[in-house]
Amino acid sequence: MTDGLQASIEKMRAEGVGEAAIDTFAHYYEQLREGASGMLPESDIEPVEDLPTLDDLPEGDSDDLDAAVVIKLNGGLGTSMGMTKAKSLIEAKDGRTFLDIIVGQVVALRERSGARVPLVLMHSFATREDSLVALARHREVASDVPLDFLQNKVPKIAAADLQPVSWPREPALEWAPPGHGDLYTALVTSGMLDALLDRGYRYAFVSNSDNLGAVLEPRILSWVAREQVPFAMEVAGRTEADRKGGHLARRRDDGLVLRETAQTPEEDLEKLQDVGRHRYVNTNNLWVDLEALRATLAERQGVLGLPIIVNRKTVDPTDPTSPPVVQLETAMGAAVGVFAGARALHVPRRRFAPVKTTNDLLALRSDAYVLGDDFRVELAPQRTEPPVIDLDPDYYKLVGDFEPRFAAGPPSLVDCARLVVAGDVTFGRGVVVRGTVTLQGPARIEDGALLAG
């Protein structure tokens, strides 16, 4: 039998995948073959206590802005919401898409500061074409570096024999994204890292395109530059909504570490979900010194060495009877445990408003959030945290089912603490929800109705 790693390398080279990405994949394949699970048990970590906060930082130095670039991860298709195009191309707020608002944020920052501040998107193969068409409508966003670069792809590995899986009926399913930790490798394989450094850009602010609270904050940029921080992670206080997500921790042998749910042994899930014990959620708003990145990659022969995530699925994720596979992934926030001198910064919740479900989308579209003149999207002034939304997944999980049930627009949620909808409920125009409200369908809420609890 052909060695599984060699077969995978040959497959990647035939597909034109860059050598740095191949070397990185080989690094993780060897770990898999040696039995690595990627697990990070509670016994190896301890909670993080006090951190510096954004409010502690002095005003930013405008001179730092000219060395900054905004990088948005734009590879998500929104498949969990039933989408088949880039999630950033659906309406987010006031008739504008996520991408429209991101462009507006960057252009507004340029106009206020006079700095260059390019916007660069990291696409997947599935999101690039549609997104570039949408960006073509925003000629004002052009800069002196390319608008985008592509993340890499890796073979799915058959769980039975660790060979690259073959799936002739749909060959595209033989490939997987290597997680957003591929950011650092893709910057190299695309040539983007050299292009940015050659044009004098040193600091990258990186965030997900579905988090419109993530705008470049000059105070954080100047802190990173002044303190010579090679890598910084913004964290927010965990809430009920973050119980099942990853968190920041400290290794018992010192050093920060990011623990994702997929890296948590089953017996430790209760502690993972204890938001009083592990108090900080990774916002995936990251700050990277690009010179430090290039130097660290050189020291490590091009492989950053983020902790492995072993993701077990089937080759066709919609068909549980298809062959079991392993996807080798990494998380970009895990670089907090790689860079010597990496820091974490506690930021307000307003910088963390990701849209992962239609529950999040409804809250964002409602008046619980406001869109400012500078295209910042923040909680309404009278709110300190978003409303808790729980829509029946049988009727609302997919965008195609969600949209017609709010065809007249979202209800007012600015004074809503919690909205729970069970069954099929359609909302009329101008509905107002206050306090804690539970609705049972089938029902239609009339125009102008006031729901209070």
Per-residue pLDDT tens digits for 46-96: 999 989 999 999 998 888 999 999 999 998 878 888 888 899 999 999 999
Question: What is the average pLDDT across 230-235?
Answer: 98
Show the tokens assigned to 287.
Answer: 């700050």
- Residue 38's pLDDT is 85
Least confident of 89-98, 287-296, 309-318: 309-318
For the chain, the domain total comes to: 2
Domain shared by 233 and 260, yes or no: yes
Q: Is the pLDDT of residue 266 over 60?
A: yes
Q: Which of 176, 112, 159, 193 is nearest to 323 (CA)?
A: 159
Report in angstroms the alpha-carbon separations of 385 from 192, 364, 420. 37, 12, 17
Domain shared by 317 and 369, yes or no: no
Question: What is the average pLDDT across 232-247?
Answer: 89
Domain shared by 318 and 439, yes or no: no
- Residue 239's pLDDT is 85
Strand partners, 252: none
> What percentage of the chain exceeds 70 in pLDDT?
100
Q: Which of 284, 212, 211 is nearest to 246 (CA)?
A: 284
Report in angstroms the alpha-carbon separations of 106 from 102, 270, 339, 350, 388. 6, 40, 28, 18, 30
The CATH number of residue 31's host domain is 3.90.550.10
- Residue 1's pLDDT is 47
Q: What is the DSSP string of 161-201?
A: T-PBP--TTSGGGGEE---GGGHHHHHHHTSHHHHHHHTT-
Residue at a domain's end among 304, 322, 351: 351
The answer to whether the Cα torsion of 245, 207, 201, 193 is positive or negative is positive
At 184-204, the pLDDT tens digits run 999 999 999 999 999 999 999
Domain shared by 125 and 240, yes or no: yes
Domain shared by 160 and 224, yes or no: yes
Domain shared by 363 and 270, yes or no: no
Asked whether the beta carbons of 203 and 288 are under 8 A apart, the reply is yes
Query: Could you give the 3-state DSSP secondary structure of residue 299?
Result: helix
Domain shared by 203 and 64, yes or no: yes
Q: Are strands 343-346 and 432-440 parallel, antiparallel or unpaired?
A: unpaired
Domain shared by 338 and 373, yes or no: no
Torsion of CA 187, 32, 126, 184, to 10 degrees: -10
- Please give the Cα distance from 351 to 406 (Å, whole number): 26
Q: Is the pLDDT of residue 256 over 90?
A: yes
85 CA to centre of own chain: 16
- Residue 2's pLDDT is 61
Q: Which of 408, 367, 409 is nearest to 387 (CA)?
A: 367
Asked whether the beta carbons of 131 and 123 are under 8 A apart, the reply is yes
Least confident of 280-284, 341-345, 382-386: 382-386
Tell me, what DSSP letter sits at residue 53? B
Residue at a domain's end among 334, 351, 368: 351
Domain shared by 422 and 281, yes or no: no
Domain shared by 225 and 318, yes or no: yes
Residue at a domain's end among 330, 351, 372: 351
Q: Which of 239, 246, 216, 221 is nearest to 331 (CA)?
A: 246
Question: What is the average pLDDT across 259-277?
Answer: 93
Question: How many alpha carbons lie under 13 Å from residue 35 in its C-beta half-sphere?
Answer: 0
- Tell me what the pLDDT averaged over the chain comes to: 94
**Confidence class for position 217, pLDDT limits 50, 70, 90:** very high
Question: What is the average pLDDT across 318-331?
Answer: 94
- Please give the Cα distance from 273 to 429 (Å, whole number): 38
Least confident of 1-5, 290-294, 332-336: 1-5
Q: Is the pLDDT of residue 324 over 70?
A: yes
Q: Which long-range contacts (CB under 8 A, 24 or more apart) does 124-130 make?
A: 124/75, 124/76, 124/77, 124/150, 124/151, 124/153, 124/177, 125/150, 125/153, 126/75, 126/77, 126/86, 127/74, 127/75, 127/76, 127/77, 127/85, 127/86, 127/88, 130/85, 130/86, 130/89
Query: Could you give the 3-state DSSP secondary structure of residue 118?
Result: coil
**Confidence class for position 111, pLDDT limits 50, 70, 90:** very high
- Please give the Cα distance from 89 to 100 (Å, whole number): 8
Note down the domain range covering 8: 4-351
Least confident of 83-87, 133-137, 336-340: 83-87
Question: What is the average pLDDT across 140-155?
Answer: 96
Domain shared by 380 and 297, yes or no: no
The CATH number of residue 390's host domain is 2.160.10.10
- Please give the Cα distance from 70 to 102 (Å, whole number): 10
Other C-beta atoms within 10 Å of 24: how many?
A: 28
Domain shared by 299 and 373, yes or no: no
- Residue 349's pLDDT is 87
